[in-house]
Chain A
Amino acid sequence: EVQVVESGGGLVQPGRSLRLSCTGSGFTFGDYGMSWFRQAPGKGLELVGFIRNTAYGGTTQYAASLRGRFTISRDDSKNIAYLQMSSLKTEDTAVYYCSRAPRVGFSGYYLIVDHWGQGALVTVSS
């Protein structure tokens, strides 16, 4: 069974950093892109960014508004994708979802996602 599971959420002070992990199982992790989305309380969905699989260069794409503060990486030997968030702001408070991306473009924002995790709540507050 395909599963993606987020971990690492919690309460963090403004200006601090936090790293989320996304562990995949039930599939060959290295064959897939992995993406991060977020949803602020009572709001809609927003793409954070995604990382391509090695065959597509392992490169990343980010939402323009988050580029520079958020970094996505992956460790295929551990079946984990990471979301490193820095200089956090109160408006970054959201549930962060990881999802598997079976199709991505070599460049640009073409992205198909299928399996989603249960989400990790990140609360940025003093």
Chain B
Amino acid sequence: FMLTQPRSVSESPGKTVTISCTRSSGDIATNYVQWFQQRPGSSPITLIYEDDQKPSGVPDRFSGSIGSASNSASLTISGLKTEDEAEYYCQSYDTNGVVFGGGTKLTVL
């Protein structure tokens, strides 16, 4: 299966943005989704695991969800800050392996 993300999104500081991650085949709810943030020149950071759980230290502004109707996962960032400007990747898996989305570049302008 594939995970499809928008290549880029942009929004203003203080606003809310949602990044989608659509699974091409198979039920999105069958296998957990993780989300990662990668700022330019830096290592990835785990933002969300098991669809909607946050590791300690991740701000409450970040939230994850899945939607069966759209067969997609979503990452929502509220109260946008300039420091949120980064690439965001979704990831899931099946019996054949781990699959990443192609990444979404978030611009906060």
Interface of A toward B, CB cutoff 8 Å: 37, 44-47, 63-64, 97, 99, 103, 108-114, 116-119
| Other-chain residue from B89, B94, B96 in contact with A45 (beta carbon distance below 8 A) | B89
Looking across the interface, which residue of chain B has its beta carbon closest to that of A113? B46
Q: A108 CA to B94 CA in the complex, in Å? A: 8
Q: A37-B44, A47-B100 are in contact. List 16 more A-B contacts (CB 8 A).
A: A44-B89, A45-B44, A45-B89, A46-B100, A47-B97, A108-B93, A108-B95, A109-B94, A109-B95, A110-B31, A110-B32, A112-B34, A114-B49, A114-B55, A116-B45, A118-B43
The secondary structure that dominates the B interface is: strand
User: Across the interface, do B98 and A63 meet the contact criterion of CB distance under 8 Å?
Assistant: yes
Interface size class of chain B, counting residues whose CB lies under 8 Å from the partner chain: 20 to 34
Q: Does B63 sit within 8 A of A, measured CB to CB?
A: no
Is residue B64 within 8 Å, beta carbon to beta carbon, of the partner chain? no
Q: Would you call B43 and A97 a contact (CB within 8 A)? A: yes
- Chain B residues with CB under 8 Å of chain A are 31-32, 34, 36, 38, 43-46, 49-50, 55, 89, 91, 93-98, 100-103
CA distance A112 to B93 in the complex (A): 11
B75 to chain A, nearest CB (A): 15
Choose from B38, B43, B98 the contact partner of A117 (Cβ within 8 Å). Answer: B43
Docked CA distance A98–B36 (Å): 14
Q: Which of A45, A103, A109 contacts B93 (CB 8 A)?
A: A109
A44-B89 Cα distance, complex, nearest whole Å:
8
For A4, the closest partner residue in chain B by CB is B43
A96 to chain B, nearest CB (A): 11
Q: Is the CB of A64 within 8 A of B97?
A: yes
Q: Which 9 pairs show the lowest CB-CB distances between chains A and B?
A: A109-B93, A47-B98, A116-B43, A112-B49, A44-B103, A45-B100, A109-B98, A114-B46, A114-B55
